[in-house]
Structure 1
Amino acid sequence: MEFLGPYTPLILLIFVASMLIQGHLTRAYRTWGQVRNAHNLTGAEVARLMLDENGLSQVPVQMVPGRLTDHYDPVRKTVNLSEGNFNVPSVSAMAVAAHEVGHAIQDKVRMPALVLRGQMALPLSLGMNLAPLLLLGGIVTQLTGLIWIGAALFGAALLFHLVTLPVEFDASRRALVYLNQRGLNGSAEGQKGARAVLNAAALTYVAGFAMALAQFLNVLALARSSDD
């Protein structure tokens, strides 16, 4: 049985592609981070406005350290914006803030995919810490059962990434619809910038799914070969 698995070259290829996609996101974010949005609103102000107009005035907007660490916390019910977006009136900050509020709206309407992702997050994070150890232990000791357990955990990770795609795409769709309808995008340039930032971010989730798929196929092949 091969130790690396037949899909290792594909994994390496996707890894390189992911780095390129991350670079594309960084460039798009930096480019439109230097362009002020039409109404000179900071990310925090855009988030607050969008939350209030969608019946979520009780949801706070908080600043968190780091770069592109923006996220919505469905447990604490908070919209968290990174330092580079919280106080900056850029097109990038506006787009990212609206995207995170999109998740808050999903939470309000109990979007099934968001609920499922939340239920999977904690147990999967624990399981994925064990998966490589189980896989390695199974290969070294030739215990097929451990390898199949590892494969099952990688399969669960693939499902998580699959569920994440509609959640992220829908949040971006809600963001763009709101910004356009509310006129916050302003000119065609603002609309182009917001779409460019959100599309670049979406590609990172597609790359994450592709990596999870390749890893699962690789581990599945190793598990099957262990039965031979």
Structure 2
Amino acid sequence: MFGFFYDSYYWILVVPAMLLAAFAQMKVSSTFNRYSQVRSRSGYTGAQAARDILDRNGLQGVRIERVRGNLTDHYDPRSNVVRLSDSVYDSPSVAAIGVAAHECGHAVQHAVGYFPIKLRSAIIPVTNIGSKLSIPLLLIGLVVQVEPLINLGILLFSTMALFQLVTLPVEYNASNRALATLDSTGMLSGDELQGSKKVLSAAALTYVAALLVAVMQLLRLLLLFGGRRRDD
């Protein structure tokens, strides 16, 4: 049982991916903090930029709310609300405007029926089940030596990797929409636009890292339990 948590595959596959994920988190924080000090020439705050972008896309019904925390920004399709963090809502910085525009990109994706975001929303219930039951099922199957339980645990775990895979085009598309809008409207230009792009690119790296962690975890499980079956 102890070997399940600390086998060689864990150290070879999972730990390096987790280190990349930690680096990505530090990278997005440092990049955001850097460009939070750069005031945009347009003077737009994050909230003002978001309102302008939503209105330009005919999304007057989407509300904008402040949410506590740092980089807790998100679009909630259930409530039809773009929530901007304390560090974005009132800030006229290049970083804040970029993040606000990115979240509006998600609102636009839902409005136009962008397929990857529809797919991601559809698999969320299954992913939630997988995140809660996959490891318990694996452990129970390991203890009682019931292979179908182990296989079911691996299958449920794979849904989390699938979710991370589908998330990548959703996030990159939202960033591309954001940068194109900021450029075409003149909210940001030149070096400002490049700074915003660096912030969004750093954020995208966190999603790449999350996918890598999920894939390495899945590969580890397949190698670990595939090896057990061969040994049997």
TM above 0.5, yes or no, is yes
TM-score range, shorter-chain basis? over 0.9
Aligned residue in 1 for 2:219: 217
Unaligned runs of 5+ in 2: none
Aligned residue in 1 for 2:126: 123
Aligned residue in 1 for 2:207: 205
How far is the alpha carbon of 1:29 from its aligned partner?
Answer: 0.3
CA contact (8 A) 2:126 2:159 kept: no
The alignment covers a number of residue pairs equal to 227
How far is the alpha carbon of 1:63 from its aligned partner?
Answer: 0.6
RMSD over aligned Cα atoms:
1.4
How far is the alpha carbon of 1:137 from its aligned partner?
Answer: 1.8
The code of the aligned residue for 2:98 comes to: A
Q: Distance in 2 between matches of 1:199 and 1:216?
A: 26
Q: Distance in 2 between matches of 1:118 and 1:5?
A: 34
Bigger CA drift: 76-85 or 96-105?
Answer: 76-85
Q: Distance in 2 between matches of 1:101 and 1:40?
A: 18
Bigger CA drift: 118-127 or 177-186?
Answer: 118-127
The code of the aligned residue for 1:55 comes to: G
Aligned residue in 1 for 2:197: 195
2:47 to 41, 44, 49: 44
How far is the alpha carbon of 1:5 from its aligned partner?
Answer: 4.8
How far is the alpha carbon of 1:161 from its aligned partner?
Answer: 0.7
Q: Distance in 1 between matches of 2:194 and 2:115?
A: 30
The code of the aligned residue for 1:80 comes to: R
TM-score of the aligned structures, taking structure 1 as reference length: 0.95
Displaced runs of 4+ in structure 1, greater than 6 A?
none
Aligned residue in 1 for 2:108: 105
Q: Distance in 2 between matches of 1:142 and 1:67?
A: 45
TM-score of the aligned structures, taking structure 2 as reference length: 0.94
Q: Distance in 1 between matches of 2:24 and 2:130?
A: 27
* Aligned-partner SS, 1:93: helix
Identity, in percent, stands at: 41
Unaligned runs of 5+ in 1: none
Q: What aligned pairs does 1:1-228 form with structure 2 within 5 A after superposition?
A: 3=4, 4-8=6-10, 9-186=12-189, 188-228=190-230
* Aligned-partner SS, 1:227: helix
Q: Distance in 2 between matches of 1:44 and 1:67?
A: 15
* Aligned-partner SS, 2:62: coil
The code of the aligned residue for 2:227 comes to: S
